[in-house]
Amino acid sequence: MASLGYYEILIVLGVMCFFLLSFWGIVNGLPWNWPLVGMLPDLLLHVRRFHDRCTDVLGRTGGTFLIKGPWFADMDMLGTVDPANIHYIMSDNFSNFPKGPQFMKIFDILGDGVFNSDGDLWRNQRKLARLQISHQRFHQCLVKTSQDKVEKGLIPILEHVSIHGLVVDLQDLFQRFTFDTTFFLVTGYDPCCLSSQLPDVPFSKAMDEVGEAIFHRHVVPKCIWKFQRWLGIGPEEKLSKACKTLDCIIGKYIMTKRDELSRGIKMEEQEDGVDLLTSYLKEDEMEGLKCDDKFLRDTILNFMIAGRDTTSSALTWFIWLVSTHPIVEAKIREELKDAMPTKEANKWRLFSVEEVGKLVYLHSALCESLRLYPPVPFQHKEPLQPDILPSGHRVHPKMKVMFSLYAMGRLKFIWGEDCFEFKPERWISERGIIKHEPSYKFLAFNAGPRTCLGKEVAFTQMKVVATTIIHNYHVEVVKGHHVAPNVSLILYMKNGLMVRVTKKWS
Ligand code: HEM
C-alpha cells in the first residue's frame, strides 16, 4: 500500500465503492443513484427486461419511486403505480398533467393529432372523433369489416395451415388483421395485408420503424437522439425514411378519396356504413377544425397508431393465455355452446357481433388478459406546476411522471396474492355480471378525460376473432417456442407466437 500514489488510492477507493454500491443495489434491489449519470446504468443494464424491472422496483417501494437521470439530461422521472396518484393525475388534477412539450417532441411524427395534442386542440379533436366513432354509420362499417376480414382473410389462412400441418405466427396474422380492418375503418380502402401470400406492406413496415425509433427516443438522452437526427443516422435515419413513406401513401389515399367524392362515387351512405375519412371530407370544417390535408394526414396516422398494434397485441396474448389454460378454454367453449341453438353446437360456426356482445365469461377473460399484458405497457405525463401527489411525492415541471401499466397488473397490493394468475373469474360478480374495476386500477384503456376512444371497437374485433378461433380450432404453441414480451411502446411477443392449428369440426 505504501508504494501506491495518491491517484492510485483514489482509483482503488472508487472501484471499491462501485462494488460496494452495486452489492447494496443487489441487496435492496433498487437502482443506485451514481454521481453524474444518475440511475442510467441501471436502466441500460435492465433495458431488455424493462417491464419486469419496473414491477420489481415499484413493488419494493410501495408503488412510487424517483428515477434519477443523468445531471445533464433532464431525465428525472417519478415512476408510480399507486392508484390514488393515478386517479389524481388522470382525473382530479387533469389540467396540471398534460402530455406536455417533451411528449410532443418525442412523438412529433404524429403531428397535431388527437394523441399528440393538449388543450383546446386536443379537446376539439376528441369531441369530433368521439362523435364519428359513436355514430351508427361507423358501427355498421365496424361490423361489416370485422366479419368480412375474418371470413375472407383469416379463415382461408387458418384452413390452409391446418390442412397442411404448417406452423404459423399468429401474432403476424393478427397484426395483418388489425392493420387491414383499422385502415378500412379509417380510410375506406382495404390494403389486403392479410392474404395468403402474406405480402410485405410498406405502410405497415414504416409504422413498425416509427415505433422502434420513438422507443429509442424514450431511453436515450434527448441530446443524443437529436444529434442522431441531425446527422441522419441510426434509428433517426429510419424514422425519417418511414415518415416519407407514410406521408406519401396517406397523401395518395386522401387525394383519391377527394376525387371519388367530387365525382359522386360512394357519396350515398350505404348499408355497410361509412369510414372516418369520408365523414371528415364531407365537411370543410367541424368543431372549429379545418379538415384540410394536414389535418386529415394527422388524423389517419393517429388512428392507425391507436388501433392497429394495440388490438393485435391484445389478441396475441389472449389466444396464448387461453391455449395454455385448458380450464379457461373449456369454459369459453361452454359459454359459446350455450349461446347457440343445440343442433349447431358441434359444427363449424361463426358468431355475429350481436352474439359476441352478450358473452360474459369471454369478456372477463379478455379483461384478465389485458390486466396481465396491457398493449400500452407504460405512459408518461409532465406536470405544468409543482405539485404534491396523494402518496406525498413532489413533482415539478422539469420531470416526467411515468406509469407502468404492466407493473400495475402484477402487484399484490393492487390485485391480491393471486395477481400473477390468469383468472377470469375475478372479473365476474356474484350476480354473474362483469365486475366494474375502476380505470385508475385497470389502466389498460387509460383513465379520465383521455380514456381510449376505441375501447368498444377493440372489444368487438377481439371477440369476433377470438370466438372464431376458440370454437372452430385447436391452437397449440410449437414445442420449445419461447414466449416473452418485447421492450417497446407496444407490448408484443418478441419471438412472435408460433403455433399449429387443427380444425375441430370436419
Ligand atoms: C386493445 C386495444 C386498445 C387498447 C389497449 C388501447 C389503449 C389506449 C390507451 C392506453 C390510450 C391512451 C394513450 C395515451 O394517452 O398515450 C388510448 C388512447 C386512444 N385510443 Fe385506444 N386502445 C385500443 C384500441 C383502440 C382502437 C381500436 C382505437 C380506434 C379505432 C383507439 C383509439 C384511441 C384514441 C383516438 C385515443 C386518444 C384519446 C385521447 O387522447 O383523448 N384505441 N388507447
Alpha-carbon 195 to chain mean position = 24
Binding pocket residue ranges, ligand 1, CB within 6 Å: 114-115, 126, 129, 303, 306-307, 310-311, 314, 375-376, 379, 444-446, 450, 452-454, 457-458
Residue bearing the CA closest to ligand 1, atom 31: 454
Q: 368-401: string of b/e by CB count within 10 Å (b at 16+)?
A: bbbbbbbbbbbbbbbbeeebebbeebebeeebbb
Q: How far is the CA of 408 from the centre of ligand 1 (A)?
A: 18
Q: Which three cell numbers stand for residue 295?
A: 389535418
User: Which residue, 269, 501, 461, 503, is CA-closest to 366?
Assistant: 461
Q: What is the pLDDT of residue 2?
A: 47
User: Would you tell me how many other CB atoms lie within 10 Å of the CB of residue 317?
Assistant: 24
For residue 263, how far is its CA from the centre of ligand 1 (angstroms)? 34
The beta strand positions in 314-383, using DSSP E, are 378-381
Distance 306 CA to ligand 1 centre (A): 5
3-state secondary structure of 464: helix
Q: Which helix (H) or strand (E) holds 502?
A: strand 498-503
State the distance from the centre of ligand 1 to the C-alpha of 425, rounded, in angstroms.
26
Q: What is the pLDDT of residue 346?
A: 87
Q: Domains of the chain (ranges plus CATH)?
A: 31-503 (1.10.630.10)
DSSP 65: E
DSSP secondary structure code for residue 254 in this structure: H
Contacts of 197-202 with CB under 8 Å at 24 or more apart are 198/172, 202/245, 202/249
3-state secondary structure of 498: strand
Element (H, E) at 400: strand 400-404
Phi, psi of 2 (to 5 degrees): -65, -30
Instruction: For residue range 163-216, list pLDDT tens digits in order.
Output: 999 999 999 999 999 999 999 999 999 999 999 889 988 998 899 899 889 988
Residue nearest to atom 3 of ligand 1 (CA): 310
Pick from 118, 218, 310 the residue to mutate for probing ligand 1's pocket: most ligand atoms within 8 Å of its CB. Answer: 310
Ranges of residues in the chain whose predicted pLDDT is under 70: 1-7, 9-28, 265-273, 284-285, 287
For the CA of 374, the nearest atom of ligand 1? 5
Provide the pLDDT for residue 96: 97
Q: How far is the CA of 307 from the centre of ligand 1 (A)?
A: 7
Whose C-alpha lies nearest to ligand 1, atom 20? Answer: 452
Phi/psi of residue 467, nearest 5 degrees: -65, -40
User: Mutation test of ligand 1: which of 124, 452, 457, 463 has the most ligand atoms closer than 8 Å to its C-beta?
Assistant: 452
Note the pLDDT of residue 363.
Answer: 98
Ligand 1 center to 296 CA (angstroms): 18
Is 243 annotated in a binding site? The answer is: no
Residue located nearest, by CA, to atom 18 of ligand 1: 452
Q: Indicate which residue's Cα is closest to atom 12 of ligand 1.
A: 446
Distance 353 CA to ligand 1 centre (A): 21
Residue 119 neighbours by CB under 8 Å, 6+ apart: 98
**Which residue lies with its CA nearest to atom 7 of ligand 1?**
445
- Ligand 1 centroid vs 387 CA: distance in angstroms? 27
Q: How many CA atoms lie within 13 A of 7 on its CB side?
A: 0
* Model pLDDT, residue 23: 53
Question: Atom 43 (ligand 1): residue with closest C-alpha?
Answer: 452
Give residue 83's pLDDT: 95
Q: Of all atoms in ligand 1, which is nearest to the CA of residue 457?
A: 27
Distance 300 CA to ligand 1 centre (A): 14
Query: Closest residue (by CA) to atom 32 of ligand 1?
Result: 454
